[in-house]
Structures are given as structure tokens and as C-alpha cells.
Structure 1
Amino acid sequence: MKYYNKIIINKLKASLALSTLSLALLFMQSCEDYLDVVPDNVATIDNAFKLRNEAEKYLFSLYSYLPKDGDVIFNIGMLSGDEMWIPYQTSITSDAFEIARGNQRISNPYMNVWEGTWTGGGPGDNYNLFEVLRNCNTFIENMNDLSKVPDIESSERKRWIGEAEFLKAYYHYYLLRMYGPIPIIDKNVPIDAPESEINVSRDPVDECVAYIVDLLDSATEKLPNDNELIVTTEAGRLTKTIALSIKAKVLLMAASPLFNGNSDFASLVNRDGTALFNPEYDENKWKLAADAALEAIQSAHSNGKSLYVFPETPFSLSETTMTQMSIRQAVCERWNEEIIWANPNSRTWDLQRLCMPPLIASHNHNDARKIISPPLKIARMFYTKNGVPINEDNSLEFFDEKELREATSEERFNIKEGYLTARLNYDREPRFYADLGFDGGIWYKYDSESQSDEGDVWYVQGKFGDPAGASHAFHTNVTGYFVKKLVDWNQVTFTTGGATYQDYAWPEMRLADLYLMYAEALNEADGPSAEVYEYLDLVRERAGLDGVVESWANFSVNPTKPTTKNGLREIIHRERLIELAFEGHRFWDLRRWKKAAQELNAPITGWNIKGEDNVSYYQIRTVYQQSFVSPRDYFWPIPESQMLRNLNLVQNLGW
């Protein structure tokens, strides 16, 4: 279904900085207060579509607006929620972190992609997504004109239009996920359009979703398969599988409780009375999401995608370490077979530096800043070694999680043998040890002196006076847990001159995500089934765990939990939160499930980082008391300045 042409309300003069294909592209913006999609600089635009080379630069500029999700300053999902905490205004100043602290506002909102201000960085790093929608429309309109760009092959013209259609759909989706119903920006309005065409209203959620899906379907027909890309020059370019995967993600969001039958937003209507949320629940939306996810999975498989498994290495590694490396490197191994979409506009050098702790006294805190700090609630979230939650395991107890235990030889691949650490850190699943660093925890990397995971290997010492302790004035971990998952195991040895990190393009979509999306949608559509278990178990198998049914039957106090829709839903939700931990998904998943009000009103807690010995360090302290106001905080406020300029816009509830 196609919808009437729409245009956002205000004017913004933009200077398009055309660039070449590094895909680490910059877009130069002016700072006027207006937003619109009215074409300006007509002579420049005409020149951009005279020849193939210039048109290609314009296309790549559309890619440049892809948010830098491999950077905690820009990835909204990393620091706006409760999964990662940082010391306040020390190593970095993050606008997203102000949202986590409950400081969002309607005047110059934080992470304001509506206007392109307050999005985390300096000039040139702000994402005005309505501006790029205007540029997408300009590109598509000109490329559809066969008199333009005469030196391009028809097949390439078609592909480029598909790329622009995908990006246009993706930026609409990004806005919808943040703001709820938005104005659809279908075509650019003429420069002399009357005010009645410029001052538009928001479109209902279901219409926004349908429009985005239409665009993705159109793009899919035009984009190449993954195996048709030229790896040396086209890594990161869009493909059919990427388009199908994002379509599945859009439809999964649309089927979820925040958007599907959400009565909390029944009173959100346009000035003319048009309801922006459909209050009626529609189970068929889950079926559409399941079908889309399966189609994306089939496309991924046909293009050689599979869950990443760490390959054989000259080093002598135990099965325990090999499993952990499969988990870690599924994210960090560049262009590996599991990654469906890697964003080369977003690199991860600084992210790794902010996660990495100093492992010995000579490691400089400036080179291993260790400030990304998962709270205790995240450490508790991971399963036991039996593959069930710690509060459900019928053979292990965690009543006193701070009780001290000494690591045995049997536990040496996870915890330094002979080291005293908390009960919470023992008897956990492989993803706990792959994803998290902690006091006494092994941090295996390639430069271990023994060239194996035996003997003299790297491990974390996290108490106040220790190498990774909280003694630095600025670079301080605030919970006692460190993010190991996002640091490539090839992180180069520290030297007197500093440290370097093996960079990788940020994985926007992994195959494991698709499997879990399919399992979730299929369970909601039809209830538990062998197919739901199959896709859940594929992810669990790579993580070194038995299947869902077997694990719960053998080790859970609630052995029948996977056999009911409600029980399996809870399991699937937790499986997503664990498998995709620290990748920026939890923030958005808690919202679409309408669980944010529950989770984001709980305190952020950690160990006592000022403790210098075992007794004083292993005390639980409250780092921050979060506050989430429902339903207000489920969506961003529309900037106050935009509300004043266009009286047809209505504000989100509570703002």
C-alpha cells in the first residue's frame, strides 16, 4: 500500500558534502532551526546527477547518516538504558546516558535525531534523519529519470535506487522506533508549496509500518545477493538479505505489545481526531513477522550465512575456551559468516578501549579505560551452567551471591585457580564467562605467554588497589563487571607507547538475532512447537548449552515452562537478552515488550569498588536509582521548537 505524499514542517539549509566510498562518510550540516525536505542548491543537485561518479558520491552520502552504533556515544541502546553504566562525566560525556539518568527533556531533547542536535557528538556527527530522507527522495527521483546519469548501466541504476529505498525505509524505521507515529516523508514538496502542504500531521503507526515494509519490498527486488558483492570493494553495501532482515525486525516491532493493541496510547490522536495507535490487538501481526523472519533466514542460508564457530588455531585451547571464543568472536571477527549486516560507517576502536581493563600494573589506564560497567542485574541475568536462570536451578543455589569461594583446578578456564571471588561468578553458562570480566575472571587473548589457556594466562584483578581497580581519577569501572564480549581477542599487547585494538565494523544484524526473532514471532503466533525449539536450540548449542526442553526438564524447578506460550515467551525474552547482551538490543526490546517500566525503575547496583580486600569489595552498593515514567518514557518527545512551528503536530503523551 502506498500513502499520500508527506513532508515534514520546517526548513533546514543543508550543504551536501559528497564523498568517496570509504563508507566512513561525513555529512556537513548547517545549524538553522528549520526542518523540511524542500530541495535547495538546485544547481548542485543538477550537477550531482550529470555523471555516474558524482551520483555515486551522492549515494554514499546517504549511507553516511547510518548511526555509528559501534560507539557508545552514538548507540542509543548502549547507554540510555540499564545494561551498561559509566562514571558520570569523567572519561566521556554521553547525551544518551542523560536519558538513563532520567534527564530527558522536550527542549533540545537528548539524542534528538528529529532535528539533528544533541545526538552525542560534535559538528558533523549529528543525525538529522528528516534531512537525509529529503536527500533519499532527491536521489530516487533523479535516478528514476533516465535522462540523468547517462553513463550508468541500467542494472547498476536499479541497484542504486534499491539502496536508496532501503536507506529511506531504515531511517523511517529508526524514527518510528524512537518517536512512535511520525510523518511519512514520501516525496519532496515543491519549493513554492502552500503552507497547508508543509504543516503536516503524524501518520498512524500501522500506516508507517506498511509504508516502510513497502519500501523494503521494493528495495529487495533491486538489491544483489550477498554472494554477488565484490568483497574487496563492496563490503558493507546493502543486499537482499539485509533488506529482508530489517523487514522482519520492523514487523516484529509492529507485532509487539508497545505497538500492537497498546491501550496506553489510545488517547494519542491528531488534531482532526485520527487515532495514531490501533488499540485492537492483532495476532496476525506475529504471523507476518514470523513469515518475514523465515524468509530472511532462508536468504541468509542460501548466501552461506551460519552461526560463527571459532576455527582451529595453533594454540592449545580447551573446549571451554573454544566455546567462549565462538561467542566473543561472533561479534568481533571481521566480516565473519554470521554477520548479516556490518556497518562500516561505525568502527569500534574506542569502544574496545572503553571496555578493556588493565590486566597488570604496567597497563596504562588511558589505553584500557574499563569504564563500561554492567550492573549486577545483568550478571544475574545469565543462566547457570545448566542452562536455566539462577533462581530456577534445582541443583545449584545462589542465595548468598557474595559468598566467597576459591577457584579449583576444574574451574581454571573461567576463574584464576586459587583466586577468591563471589559465589555469583561460579557455575555459570559459557556466555557469562565469554561476555563478562570480573575480579578473578580469566580474560583470554592471543598473547598469553603459554600460547594456551593453561598456566600463565591473563585474568582480571578488580579491587581498589589492583590493576583494574577504581583508583584512576577518570577511567573507573563502577560495578566490578567489565564487558569482555566486545573486545577482539586479537587486541594487541600493551607497549610503553600505548595499546592498539583490532578494529571491526559494527554488526548491526547477526544470524543469531534472526533465529531468535523467528522463534519469538512463531511462539506468539502458534505457541510452542518443534520449530520454535529448533531455532532457540541452535543459538543455545553454539553457546555450549543443552536444548530448552531438556534443560528445563532436568534442571528447573518449573520443568514444564517451555511447554506453554507464556512460559516459552519468558524463556525467549531472556534468551535474547543474554545472546545479544551489550549489542544495544536490550534497550529497544524492553520497550517493545512493555517491560521497561519494570526493569528501568530498579536500582543500578554493583560491588563496592572502593573495597581493598575480599570482605570490603564484595559488598553490594547502589550506584544509581533509575526512574522510568510510563507511558511517557516509552517514546522520545517531539522537540518543543517543532511543536511551536507546526500546530498540526501533536506531542507524545506525558511530555
Structure 2
Amino acid sequence: MKTLIKYTFLLLILLFVVGCNTFEPLDENLSGDDRLTSDPAMAEGLLLDAYEGMPNQFLFNDTSTDDAVTNYLSGYSRMATGEWNADNPFSSRWGQYQQVLYVNKFLTVIDQVQWKRDEETNNLFKQRMYGEAIAMRALRHFWILQEHGGLGTSGKLLGVPYITEFLEHDADFNLPRPDFEVTVQMINDDFNEALEYLPMDWDGDLSKQPSRYSGVDDDIYQYVFGTTQDGRISGRIIKAFQAKLNLLAASPAFMDGSGDYYQKAADILGELLSDNGGVAGIDPEGYYDFYDFNIGTRNFPEVLWRENVSTNFTWLEKQHYPPSLNGEGKLNPSQNLVDAFPMLDGFPFSESHPEYDPQNPFNNRDPRLKKYILYNGNDLNNRIIYTGVGGGSDEIDRVQFRSTRSGYYLKKLLDPGVVISSDGSVSASEKMNVFLRYTDLYLMLAEVANELGGPDYMVDGMSARTIIEALRKRAGIGLDSGDAYLSSISTKEQMRDLVRNERRLELCFEGHRLFDLRRWNMLDDIPNVIGSKYDGSSYNKFVVEQRLYSNYENPNYAPIPQSEIVKFDALEQNIGW
């Protein structure tokens, strides 16, 4: 018995020892700051996070304007029809502070990481990425300001909190909003500092290297700042966004021309576009060649900033092709937008125009209309679409959540050669996210030049008139006998209307109009969305969807999410929300 007790006791001791080792909590493999400083790839991941989810031309927020509706319930539709509020901030960009904090965290470790073994190369990598980081911090704050800057409940024109440090979980996030101009200045300050570190282009051109790198080994400079970095933010991209920032500040909803913001935008745009060849540098096919191109194309003169070309964008055709082509027909352009396209001779569309044909109101029109909008009788790669009576599944309201509600389908941004089979398979296509293109910049210069001195005021050899003439001529307007309507424009007010309409047409469905309407202080004045149906003998207009922005106190300034207002009492809400 004593022997049994002895061995039982020894067995319990052995089990206890083994158990301590067997059931010890496992290492959770959670990486901390020590991993950031010892692993350059992981550290750079913080910087690369700043590039994730950037606004591009596939936002399709046009359905919140007078340019389009959707055939399903979307946040942008709800925004336009009376459901927009601080609890439902459908267009909010407040979440972009996450990328700001990633950047600021990166800046806390950048000096502790060994990026390359060679000291000179390591130092150049560090400086390049520092420039990128503060540029991306500025850019994220610009996008937040574009959405949330505005008149606060106090009646003051406010910006958004500008965060320049990494805030730990227990930090004070209760930050007040500074004055609007203070935020603008802080964004500009970061952009200007970034310009000291970054080249204009990622081409390794030694003649254009920032002065701080003079004396650096040529081969090392070209290695660090060469073409392998293409796609990251550059000096040219920074300047373009500085121009956007200054134009935003100058616009009627904000400083309304006071200060020197129009002039600052003009100076930057004049330099950028002169470097692009001036008016003569406008890409002859730039109104479509950034989305409608052959597989394998990699040179895009129209595009200033983009992501890599990819085959992963055929969801666009699936979502927006009409149902007869096995698509879902989601975005439906409006008659309002169709009517904004002028006649072929350049004069505004009018039923009293001598070349207007009531049986085919799309004849003798601006050629961009046929290129951008799939109207009744238009085609996709010779596949004709009918949206009126007898149009089958493509007819207005024929198939719920698939057929058009307005009488029109989207054509722009889609690859007309794509074939969607009945089993859902899709033929090959290539596209890319576009963040900046030159036509936008030329139209910005036309706007600021006109505001500074009228239709013929020159900025580095370019005026609103010469730019608009070139863009309309590129589109095919007035080729037979000149653009008499443009020639008749003589006042700043007339040119302002024309420039704004050209922005509407050239940039339609690329996410610009909502922000343009807001900075022009015009969102609450847009009309209801109109559609048009062909009944077999004539086209009949009807109201598709109301626009109820006039019900809001001031929709030109978007709400800050109520969840943020509740958490942080120092944060002032925009007026009316």
C-alpha cells in the first residue's frame, strides 16, 4: 500500500510538471513597435496604408445630383431625397483620419528603421518616404476638408482638425475645429514641405532633382527616385492638389473670391499646364482614352495620377450594362444632363434650334453625348439599345432593379467591347483607378482665369476662352463653321456658366459634380431629375426623382457624423445638422 501511495504521489508530481509546460499560454504572435523598427517592409506598410481607398472616378456619387439616378436604393439617392442627416452622413469622409494616424505612426518610427545597408541610400530612402508621408497627410486632410469644411453652428467658417501626431488610444481626441483658412494653411504647409523632398516626376531626371539632393551620387539618386516608384505621390501631383485646395478656398461657398486663392491656383496651374505644352498639350483623345483603350496599353497622356492597369474591373460592366446585355443597369443618366450637351454647332440645346429633330433629339448634338450616354437607339460596340416602347428588358421600368428609370444607361467609363455571357462570365478587359487627369486641371485654370479677369484674361498664355475652345473642338463641336456661340461670350458671368457646363460634361460620372455644386453654393438649387420615354412616335419627359436639398438648411456643407459630435464636445457641427 505504501508503495502504491509513493508511486501515485510521484505520478501526480510528474503530471503537474508536464501540465505546466503543456498548458502554458501560447505566444499570440502579436507584433509590436519592435517589429516595426526591425522590419522595413512592415514599417513601410504604414505609409502604404495612406494610399488605400483613395477617391477615384468610380464613386458614382452623381446619383446625389441632377445628373443621374439609380435603379436601386443607394446612400447617395437617400441623400438627395431627404434622408441625409448627421446620423446618416452618406458621403462622410471623417473615416479618413484613420489614414492620417497611420501616416503619423509611420513618422514616429521612420528614423529607427534601417531601410538600406548603405548609409547614403538609407538616408535617401528615409527622406523620400518622409516627403511622401507628409504629402499624404496633407492630401487626406484636403479630402476631409472638401467634405466637412463649412459654416459651423456658431456662424464661423470652420475647417477640420489637423492632426500631426500619432494619438495613442488614451490620448485626447477631443479636438476643436480651427478656422477654415487655418486648415487650408496647414495643408499647404505640409504640401510645401513635401515638395522639398519629392521630385516632380518619378523618372530619376537629375536635372529636376530637389536642391537638397545636390551632391548625391547620381546612380543612388536614380535608384531611389526612379521609375520603380511611379504611382506614388510626386511633386507634380502635390502641385495639382494645391491648386484644387486653393480653388476650393476661393469658391463662393467658402472665401467667395476674397484673399489671393484664385491667384495662387492660377499660378500653380499655369506652371503645371505650361509644362504640359499649354493648350496645345491637351490630349486629342483625352475625353475617353483613359477608360476606352486596348488591352496592353500603358501610356496615358491624359492621366496625371493613376493606379496600375488591372483586369479586375469588369464589375463595372456587370453593374452598368443594360439588362439585354446581361448587366444590372444601375446608374441611369438624367434628361437634365442630356439637355446640357449642346448642339453640334456649339449653341445650347434648344427645341427651337433649326437643326433640332423631335423624332431624334440626339442628332446634330455634341458628339460626347453619344460617347457618354446610352440613349434610345445608341449602341455599345454595334449592339443597339432601345429604352422606349418595344425595348424589351431595356425599356423604362420593365425589370425591377435592372431596367433604367430615366430612359438612359451609362456608357462612359465602360469598355464597349466587353461581352457578358448568360452564365455571368465576362470577356477580358483592362481599366484603372484614375485620381487626377489633365482635363480637370485645364478646366480649373479656365475657371480661375475667368474669375480673375474675364473670358480673355491670360495665365501663361492660356485663357478661359482658349481652353474651352480647345476642349469643345476636341469633342467635335463647331468643326464645320466655327464655334459661334463661344465667340459670342463676352462677360465673366456668361463664361462662368459655360465653364461650369463644360466641367459638367467633360467630367460627368467621375465624382466631381457633387463637390462642384457644393463649392459653387448651388446644391440646394438643383432641379428634380427628369427622364424621357419614347412611346413609339415621340419623346415624353417626366419626373423620375425629386431633389429635396432645399429642405436642408445648408446642404453645401456636409454634416460631421453625429457619433463624433456625441463623443467630442469640442467638435462643432456644421450649421443645420
Matched, 1:52 2:40: yes
Matches of 1:70 and 1:502, distance apart in 2:
17
* Inter-partner Cα distance in structure 2 for 1:603 and 1:385: 26
Which residue of the other structure, out of 153, 166, 171, is the alignment partner of 2:140? 171
Whole-angstrom CA distance in 1 between matches of 2:391 and 2:496: 42
Matched, 1:184 2:162: yes
Q: Provide the residue aligned with 2:344 in structure 1.
A: 385
Q: Is the 8 A contact 2:451 2:492 kept in 1?
A: yes
What residue identity is the alignment partner of 1:259? F
1:555 and 1:301 map into 2 onto residues whose CA distance is 26
Question: How far is the alpha carbon of 1:634 from its aligned partner?
Answer: 1.3
1:504 to 428, 431, 435: 431
What is the Cα deviation at residue 394 of structure 1?
Answer: 6.1
Q: Post-superposition shift, 1:47?
A: 1.6
Counterpart residue number, 1:633: 555
Q: TM-score, normalised by structure 2?
A: 0.79
1:576 corresponds to which of 499, 503, 510: 503
Change (3 A) 1:48 1:176: same
Q: Is the alpha carbon distance of 1:522 and 1:47 closer, same or farther for their aligned partners in structure 2, counting shifts above 3 Å? A: same
| Letter aligned with residue 377 of structure 1 | N
Partner of 1:111: 91
Q: Tell me how far apart the structure 2 counterparts of residues 239 and 427 of structure 1 sit (CA, whole Å).
A: 43
What is the CA distance between 1:234 and its match in structure 2? 4.6
Q: Supply the distance in 2 between the matched residues of 1:503 and 1:64 (Cα, whole angstroms).
A: 20
AA aligned opposite 1:79:
T
Show the 5 A alignment for 1:70-85: 70-71=57-58, 75=59, 77-85=61-69
Query: Structure 1 pair 252/373, CA: closer, same or farther in 2 (3 Å)?
Result: same
Q: 1:515-534 maps to which residues of 2 (within 5 A)?
A: 515-529=442-456, 531-532=462-463, 533-534=465-466
Is residue 2:558 matched to residue 1:654? no
Q: 1:98 to 1:44 in 2, by over 3 A?
A: farther
| Alpha-carbon distance, 1:623 to partner | 1.2
Aligned counterparts of 2:33 and 2:275: Cα–Cα separation in 1? 36
Other-structure match for 2:328? 369
In 2, are the aligned partners of 1:308 and 1:338 still within 8 Å (CA)?
yes
Asked whether the 8 Å contact 1:82–1:100 carries over to 2, the reply is no
The whole-number CA distance in structure 2 between the counterparts of 1:76 and 1:354 is 12
Q: Deviations along 1:548-592, whole A, 9 cap, x unmatched?
A: x952xx358xx63x2211111111111111111111111111111
Inter-partner Cα distance in structure 1 for 2:274 and 2:335? 38
Instruction: Determine the structure 1 residue equivalent to 2:521.
Output: 594
Mapping of residues 64-143 of structure 1, within 5 Å = 64-67=52-55, 69-71=56-58, 75=59, 77-89=61-73, 94-114=74-94, 128-143=95-110
CA pair 356-588 structure 1, distance change in 2 beyond 3 A: same
* Distance in 1 (alpha carbons) for counterparts of 2:512 and 2:142: 15
Larger radius of gyration: 2
Residues 235 and 501 of structure 1, relative CA distance in 2, 3 Å threshold: farther
Q: 1:353 aligns with which of 286, 294, 318?
A: 318
TM alignment of 1:484-495, pairs within 5 A: 484-492=411-419, 494=421
State TM-score, norm by structure 1: 0.70
- The residue number in structure 2 matching 1:277 is none
Cα distance in 1 for partners of 2:441, 2:351 equals: 27
Distance 2:482 2:399 in 1: 47
Determine if contact 1:382/1:389 at 8 Å carries over to the other structure: yes
Residues 143-158 of structure 1: pairs in structure 2 closer than 5 A: 143=110, 145=111, 149=115, 151=117, 153-158=122-127
The 10-residue stretch of structure 1 (105-114 or 201-210) with the greater mean CA deviation from structure 2: 105-114
Tell me, yes or no, if the aligned pair for 1:242 and 1:341 is still in contact at 8 Å.
yes
What is the Cα deviation at residue 472 of structure 1? 2.5
When residues 348 and 283 of structure 1 are mapped into structure 2, their CA distance, relative to the original with a 3 A threshold, is farther
Q: Distance in 2 between matches of 1:238 and 1:392?
A: 47
Q: Does the residue aligned with 1:606 lie in a helix, a strand or coil?
A: strand
Task: Kindly indicate which of the two structures has a greater share of residues assigned to helix.
Answer: 2
Alpha-carbon RMSD across the aligned residues, in angstroms, is: 3.1
Contact 1:380–1:390 (CA under 8 A) maintained in structure 2: yes
> Structure 1 527/631 Cα, relative in aligned 2: closer, same or farther at 3 Å?
farther
Task: Say yes or no: does 1:622 pair with 2:549.
Answer: no
For the pair 1:207 / 2:182, whether they are aligned, the reply is yes
CA drift at 1:177? 0.9
Q: CA deviation at 1:300?
A: 4.6
Tell me the alpha carbon deviations over residues 408-463 of structure 1, each in whole angstroms, 9 at most, x when there is no partner.
xxxxxxxxxxxxxx42x1210111111111111233x3xxxxxxxxxxx3322223
1:614 and 1:393, CA in 2 relative to 1: closer, same or farther beyond 3 A? closer
Compute the displacement of 1:166 (Å). 2.0
Report the secondary structure of 2:549's partner residue: coil
Q: Aligned equivalents of 2:516 and 2:270: distance in 1?
A: 20
Amino acid at match of 1:294: G
SS at match of 1:282: coil
Aligned equivalent of 1:535: 467
Report 1:537-556 matches (<5 A): 537-546=469-478, 551=483, 554-555=484-485
Give the deviation of 1:484 after TM superposition.
1.2
Q: Does 1:460 align with 2:385?
A: yes
Contact preservation (8 Å) 1:142, 1:148: no
Structure 2: distance between partners of 1:343 and 1:392 = 43
Give yes or no for contact 1:387–1:546 (8 Å, CA) kept in 2: yes
> What is the identity, as a one-letter code, of the residue corresponding to 1:636?
A
Retained in 2: the 8 A contact 1:106–1:639?
yes
Which structure 2 segments of 5+ residues have no match?
A: 1-28, 150-158, 205-224
* Superposed displacement of residue 44, structure 1: 2.3
Aligned mates of 1:588, 1:245 — CA distance in 2: 17
Alignment-derived partner of residue 441 in structure 1: 378
User: Percent identity over the alignment?
Assistant: 26
1:184 is matched by which residue type in structure 2?
A: Y
CA contact (8 A) 1:329 1:488 kept: no
Tell me the SS of whatever aligns to 2:68: coil
Aligned equivalents of 2:386, 2:499: Cα separation in 1? 34
CA deviation string 1:248-278 (max 9, x = no partner):
11111111101114xxxxxxxxxxxxxxxxx
2:176/2:571 contact within 8 Å kept: yes
Task: Determine helix, strand or coil for the equivalent of 2:144.
Answer: helix
Residue 257 and residue 76 in structure 1: after superposition, are their counterparts in 2 closer, same or farther (change >3 A)?
Answer: farther
Deviation at 1:192, TM superposition (A): 6.2
Q: In structure 1, what residue type is equivalent to 2:375?
A: F
- The DSSP-based 3-state class of the residue aligned with 1:222 is coil
1:598–1:137 CA distance, 2 compared to 1 (3 A)? same
For 1:44 and 1:351, locate their aligned partners in 2 and report how far apart those are by CA, in whole Å: 40
One-letter code aligned to 2:97: F
Find out whether 1:244 has 2:239 as its counterpart.
yes
Q: Distance in 1 between matches of 2:284 and 2:365?
A: 20
Which amino acid letter does the alignment assign opposite residue 247 of structure 2? L
- The aligned residue for residue 296 of structure 1 is 272
Q: Is this contact kept in 2: 1:59–1:164, CA < 8 A?
A: yes
1:427 maps to what in 2?
Answer: 364
- Compute the displacement of 1:70 (Å): 4.6
Query: Separation in 1 of the partners of 2:105 and 2:514?
Result: 33
Cα deviations by residue, 1:23-70 (Å, 9 ceiling, x for unpaired)? xxxxxxxxxxxxxxxxxx996234223233222222222211424x35
Aligned to 1:478: 405
2:250 matched residue in structure 1? 255
Question: Offset at 1:331?
Answer: 3.7
CA positional deviation for 1:213: 1.4
Distance 2:383 2:116 in 1: 59
Matched, 1:340 2:304: yes
8 Å Cα contact 2:38-2:113 kept in structure 1: no
How far apart, in 2, do the equivalents of 1:541 and 1:108 lie?
43
Change (3 A) 1:614 1:465: closer
Q: With CA pairs under 8 Å and 6+ residues apart, which has the higher RCO, 1 or 2?
A: 2
Q: Call closer, same or farther: CA 1:393–1:524 in 2, change over 3 Å.
A: farther
Q: CA 1:140–1:585 in 2, change beyond 3 Å: closer, same or farther?
A: same
Matched, 1:566 2:493: yes
Asked if the contact 2:317–2:414 (Cα under 8 Å) also holds between the matched residues in 1, the reply is yes
Contact 2:174 2:568 in 1 (8 A): yes
